[in-house]
């Protein structure tokens, strides 16, 4: 066991100088890559159905999770171990949940198959890895719907909110890196207008989205 530990230490010592030769500048410049992982949507919706006098009632049990994948592009400038930059990401999901947990007891649903983020990023780096935090704008597409007396009605809308995130990247060479990233997106309480032949309704998605993903980047 002692011999194994000594060998592992020796390998680490020989690998570290090789990475150190590139320095923190390896994190400079434009990068782009792909990501894959999981996405979760949370938050109780709020329904407004004036045609039957149900106003402002909660629609619960609308949370869902799905596989997610996408791409990202960014720029980073290292100043010693401290870096400043920006990152934009695009994610595709299969978030879709139907529920009858509401005061009227009828069917509602909330779907989201697309979200994107863009904003500044702050990095603390060594030659072998980088830890970062980011924030900015979140953009998501939501579809909401309702079974209105036997007729399914729905509408979709692009919503805007804010994003907070963090992650770590590990260098695999002078150009490649692999890491993990978490994003929190909050879209507030805006209403989506759902037109109907009988009586229009309004549904507030009240959505927060959580993305956890493995991230691979190539630096140009």
Rounded Cα distance between 194 and 153, Å, is 7
Confidence of residue 5 (pLDDT cuts 50, 70, 90): very low
How confident is the model at residue 142, as a pLDDT?
A: 96
pLDDT in tens, 146-204: 998 889 999 999 999 999 999 999 999 999 999 999 999 999 988 999 998 888 899 99
pLDDT in tens, 98-124: 999 887 788 999 999 999 999 999 999
Strand order in the sheet with 45-49: 54-59, 45-49, 201-204, 192-194
According to DSSP, the β-strands at 151-171 and 129-148 are antiparallel
How confident is the model at residue 54, as a pLDDT?
A: 78
Rounded Cα distance between 170 and 68, Å, is 22
Rounded to the nearest angstrom, the gap between the alpha carbon of residue 8 and the centroid of all alpha carbons in its chain is: 37
Rounded Cα distance between 118 and 72, Å, is 10
pLDDT in tens, 123-137: 999 999 999 999 999
Mean pLDDT of 92-99: 95
**pTM (two decimals):** 0.85
Confidence of residue 10 (pLDDT cuts 50, 70, 90): very low
Say whether pLDDT at 30 is over 70: yes
Task: Please give the residue that has the higher pLDDT: either 94 or 13.
Answer: 94
Rounded to the nearest angstrom, the gap between the alpha carbon of residue 149 and the centroid of all alpha carbons in its chain is: 36
Block residue for tokens 């695999």? 172
């Amino acid at each position: 066991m002692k011999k194994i530990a000594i060998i592992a230490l020796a390998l680490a010592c020989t690998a570290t100088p090789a990475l150190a030769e590139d320095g923190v500048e390896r994190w400079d410049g434009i990068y782009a890559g792909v990501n894959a992982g999981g996405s979760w949507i949370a938050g109780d919706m709020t329904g407004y159905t004036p045609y039957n006098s149900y106003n402002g009632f909660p629609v619960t049990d609308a949370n869902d999770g799905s596989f997610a994948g996408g791409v990202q592009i960014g720029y980073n400038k290292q100043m010693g171990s401290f870096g400043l930059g920006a990152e934009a990401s695009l994610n595709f999901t299969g978030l879709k949940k139907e529920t009858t947990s509401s005061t009227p007891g009828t069917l509602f649903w909330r779907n989201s198959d697309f979200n994107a983020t863009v904003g500044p990023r702050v990095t603390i780096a060594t030659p072998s890895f980088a830890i970062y935090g980011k924030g900015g704008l979140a953009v998501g597409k939501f579809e909401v719907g309702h079974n209105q007396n036997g007729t399914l009605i729905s509408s979709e809308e692009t919503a805007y909110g804010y994003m907070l995130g963090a992650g770590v990247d590990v260098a695999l060479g002078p150009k490649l890196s692999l890491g993990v990233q978490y994003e929190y997106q909050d879209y507030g309480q805006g209403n989506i207008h759902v037109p109907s032949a009988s009586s229009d309704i309004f549904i507030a998605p009240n959505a927060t989205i959580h993305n956890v993903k493995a991230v691979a980047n190539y630096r140009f």
